[in-house]
């Protein structure tokens, strides 16, 4: 069974939104389910700091041994930080998807977009 932290929000595409502790700022990454389905992550391509994305825009790609997948932004906003550790250690996405394997830190431009995301119970139901 996949790990589904209760305090995060989730997308249909298996990305998560994690509060950063700063108002309007969140971390985005892929869920434990997603990394398990992809298998061993070998490369993550992320945007530059300052890049702006609308909800559901592709903000990068994640490459595993068996597949390459696009990463979709759960909310609109500006990239404040990328997880530079993923350049040298892409497997952090496998070992710690909700911790050291986060991908981008974003300042949301419309916090109301969070209401369209799933809570842990709804995401768990989606996964079955």
Report pLDDT for 2. Answer: 80
Task: Give per-residue pLDDT as tens, 109-124.
Answer: 999 999 999 999 999 9
* pLDDT band at 1; cut points 50, 70, 90: low
Mean pLDDT of the residues in the chain: 96
User: Which domain, by its residues, includes 76?
Assistant: 9-108
Q: Strands (DSSP E) along 1-128, which ranges?
A: 9-10, 15-19, 25-30, 41-45, 52-53, 58-64, 68-72, 77-82, 104-108
Report pLDDT for 66. Answer: 84
| Total count of domains within the chain | 1
Task: Give per-residue pLDDT as tens, 26-67.
Answer: 999 999 999 999 999 999 999 999 999 999 999 999 999 988
Here the CATH number for the domain that contains residue 100 is 2.40.50.100
């Amino acid at each position: 069974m996949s790990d589904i932290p209760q305090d995060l929000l989730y997308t249909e595409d298996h990305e998560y939104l994690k509060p950063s502790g700063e108002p309007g700022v969140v971390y985005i990454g892929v869920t434990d389910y997603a990394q398990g389905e992809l298998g061993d992550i070998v490369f993550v391509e992320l945007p530059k700091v300052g890049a702006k994305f609308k909800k559901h825009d592709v903000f990068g790609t994640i490459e595993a041994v068996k597949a390459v997948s696009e990463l979709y932004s759960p909310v609109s906003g500006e990239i404040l930080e990328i997880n530079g550790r993923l350049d040298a250690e892409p497997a952090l996405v496998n070992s710690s998807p909700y911790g050291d394997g986060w991908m981008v830190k974003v300042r949301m431009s419309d916090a109301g977009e969070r209401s369209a995301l799933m809570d842990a119970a709804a995401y768990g139901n989606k996964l079955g």
